[in-house]
Every structure is written in structure tokens, then in C-alpha cells.
Amino acid sequence: MHGNPNVGKSTIFNNLTGLHQHTGNWPGKTVSNACGLCTYKNSDFLLVDIPGTYSILSNSQEEEIARDYICFSKPDATIVVVDATCLERNLNLVYQIMEITNNVIVCVNLLDEAKKKNIKIDLNMLSKLLGVPVCGTIARKKKSLNNLLDTTYKVCKKEIIPTPKTVSYLPIIEKNISIIENKLKNIFNLSSKISRWVALKFLDSENTIISSIEKHLKINISNNLELKNLKTNILNNLKNVGITQNNFKDFITSDIMKYAEKICQEVYTFESQDYSFKDRKIDKILTSKYFGIPIMLLFLGLIFWITIIGANYPSQLLFNFFDFIQKHLINFADFINCPYWLSDLLILGIYRTLTWVISVMLPPMAIFFPLFTFLEDLGYLPRLAFNVDGLFKKCCCSGKQMITMCLGVTKWKIF
């Protein structure tokens, strides 16, 4: 089960498996695969919640985890969860996954949010245009997942055989992909589906993806002299028409987005063309070049101030309460003639240390996490990550790491 961040993927996973995987709407919330069992029609299914990503082009840890699982673990079906309110952006990931595997099921989630914005989606037309099964869901309503579960069952049992309609790139790119694809089939005996994807990644020259391909498929394409010479010639030909290694990925992404835009024009119906006006207006302020960072600092400063200052009072109350109990414990130890070394070990050592930690850490955490959850529910955390992404990239990091930095600052302040 895969999808963009903040599309309800983990909520669907929890409802299907009965687990309690934490759900959140900031980028990179899930950074490892979570597994759970689901039973349907006397068949057991192992569902895997893969980290949410916007692509599988291996730019971050979660993207590598997601890509490697989909590419090399050979799942019977891959459920791609997309947001009904911003389908065009999500289809980028759908097309990337359909390059890798045929057994794709598209789950259009958040239909309730789409309804609020007066957006209608023709799911049957979407299925026809993509060539794969499409199910509409509302993650919070378990009954709405029945169709998804039934479709997954049928795909796994080969009762439904998806035939994805993948993107056709620029003619010159398609021509050269075919050349490398045929060469890979002849040298390494790869299947048509995987050889096309490997050819695309080989031209893309993404080292981490190439390394994973070689490791999991047990082939050596980087050191194959015939392939290296072929790649050099192809890249030179592409360079003559303005396609270089630096912008190759841009051409690929551009073609995918054109397909996504075309599909959305056919399946979307808007009762109001200004359905996203309010969100865009908020985004324009919160992610503004001039106001985005100051607003972010104001929000975070206010949260830290409330957390640190507000925690002093409950911390002192807890400290006094535990100190009161400690005095009675010491009196009780004296009353029963407990040896000093034992009473000091149990009361002044274990008990005092434990209660001090609770007094110092519990109140700030009890204040900070609800406040942070409030920002999460408002949808501000992805915007926060966006604001600092450019700055963090100068340090070879991602804006997503701002979320964990906030948690780290809070813990540091506590101590």
C-alpha cells in the first residue's frame, strides 16, 4: 500500500488490519514498512504500509524504502492511494509505479473532502484511462473499504488482470529506451516490464537506483562495457536535441504530468471553478517568500513558549507531590528498620530519579504534542516543511527534517 503523504494511507491500513499505526499529515511521517494481516473470503493477506512519497526517484530514505519494496519484493498487488481533491499531482506516482508492475489498484480516497469542494470524479472513466482497477473510499468509514478489499482479492486471485496504460515519452526518448531495453533482454534475460524500467533508470543515471537494481536482480549493468558504450552514444544523441543528464528527469516528469493533466480533464467535474480558492489564498500567505518564514517562527516560538513556560507549574506540582510521598516512604523505611543502604537505593536512588524524570518531562510533552497535533490537523506541517526546504537543501537535507528538529529542540529545552 503506497501513496503520497497525507492521503489517508495509514488510516486505510489500520481499518483493514485492525492495527493502530500512527497517522499524521506531515511529509515523511512513516519511514519504515508496517505490516498487518487482513482476512477476506477465508484468505489471509499480508498488507504492507509503505512510507508515503511523492515519487520513487530515490531522493530520500522513505523513497528508497518504497521503491525497493515495490520493485523487488514482487507483491501480488500494489494499492496506490490518491487524494480525490488533487488527483493530478498524485497521478505522477501512479504512473511511476505502473512502469514497474502491472498489478496496480488505484484507491481514490478522501471522497468526502472532494464532495465538500463540489468535485465529482468519474471512477469508471479513470479506470478505463489508466487500465487498472479504481476504487473510491473514505478512509474513516470502514464500510467504504469493502470494494477496495474485494478488488484486491480479485487481483491477487487473478480474477482481475490489470493492463496499465503507461506513459509514452518523447519519440527520441522512447526510441533509445527501446534500444537499451532490447539489449538488457539479450544480455540478462529480463522480462519486458522490468527491462523497460531498468532501461529508463539506466539512462537517468541515478546511482542509488542502479545499485539497488544490481543488488536485487543480481546483474551488473554499470560495468558492462557494451551497455556503457551504448549509453554514451545515446546520451550524446540526446544532448544534440537539448536532453542532458541534468534535465533528463525533468522531461520524464513533464510527460507524466501532461498525461495526468489530460486524464483529470476527462474525469473531473467541478461545480465551482474556485473550489480551491480558499486553500490557495491560505497557501499564498503561509508559504509566501516574505511572510512564510516569519509566520513559521511566530507559530513555533509561541508553541515553544507555551510548552516551556506552561510546563513549569504542573512540573512543580508533580515534584511537590512526589516529594510528599518520598518523605512518607523514608518514614516507613525507618519504622520497619529497613537497612539504610537498601532504603537509600530504593527511595533516594530509583524512586527519586524516576519521579524527577516524570516531573520534568511529562508536562512539556503533554503540552507540546497536543499543540503540534493541532498544527498537524490544520495542515500547516507540510507547509512548514515547504518553507524551509530550499534552505535545508543547501545542507544536503530535506525540509521534512524540520519536523524532527522541532521535536529535538523541545527535548533539549526539557533537559
| Sheet arrangement for strand 78-83 | 2-3, 78-83, 104-109, 134-136
Segment 260-294, tens digit of pLDDT: 999 999 998 877 666 566 777 888 888 888 888 89
pLDDT the model gives residue 30: 43
How is the chain split among helix, strand and coil, in percent rounded to 5? 65, 10, 25
Contact 80, 137 (CB under 8 A): no
Asked which of 160-164, 225-229, 375-379 is least confident by mean pLDDT, the reply is 375-379
Name, in order, each residue with C-beta under 8 angstroms of 5's C-beta and a sequence gap of 6 or more.
Answer: 25, 26, 27, 28, 29, 52, 53, 54, 382
Pairwise CA distance, residues 376 & 372, whole Å: 6
| pTM (predicted TM-score) | 0.71
Most confident of the ranges 22-31, 151-160, 185-194, 197-206? 151-160
Pairing of strands 34-40, 43-49: antiparallel
Decide if 109 contacts 7 (C-beta within 8 A): yes
Residue 222, pLDDT score: 81
Give the whole-angstrom CA distance, residue 270 versus residue 275. 8
**Which sequence spans correspond to the domains of the chain?**
2-156, 171-242, 286-414
| Residue closest to 2 by CA, chosen among 94, 73, 64 | 94
Spatial CA neighbour of 268 closest among 76, 99, 129, 102: 129
Residue pLDDT, tens place only, 92-125 = 999 989 988 899 999 999 898 888 888 899 999 9
Hey, what CATH class is 2-156 in?
Answer: alpha beta
Task: Report helix, strand or coil for 8.
Answer: coil
**How far, in whole angstroms, is CA 337 from its chain's centroid?**
59
Pairing mode of beta strands 78-83, 119-121: unpaired
Residue whose C-alpha is closest to residue 90's, from 68, 71, 114, 124: 114
Side chain identity, residue 250: D
| pLDDT category of residue 149 using cuts at 50, 70 and 90 | very high
Q: Which of 9-23, 180-194, 343-357 has the highest mean pLDDT?
A: 343-357
Residues with Cβ within 8 Å of 321's Cβ and at least 6 positions away in sequence, in order, are none
Contact (CB, 8 A) for 13 and 36: yes
Tell me the pLDDT band of 210, cut-offs 50, 70 and 90: confident
Task: List pLDDT tens digits, range 306-361.
Answer: 888 888 889 999 999 999 999 999 999 888 888 888 888 988 899 999 999 898 88
State residue 23's pLDDT score: 45
- Which helix H or strand E contains 269, and what residues bound it? strand 268-270
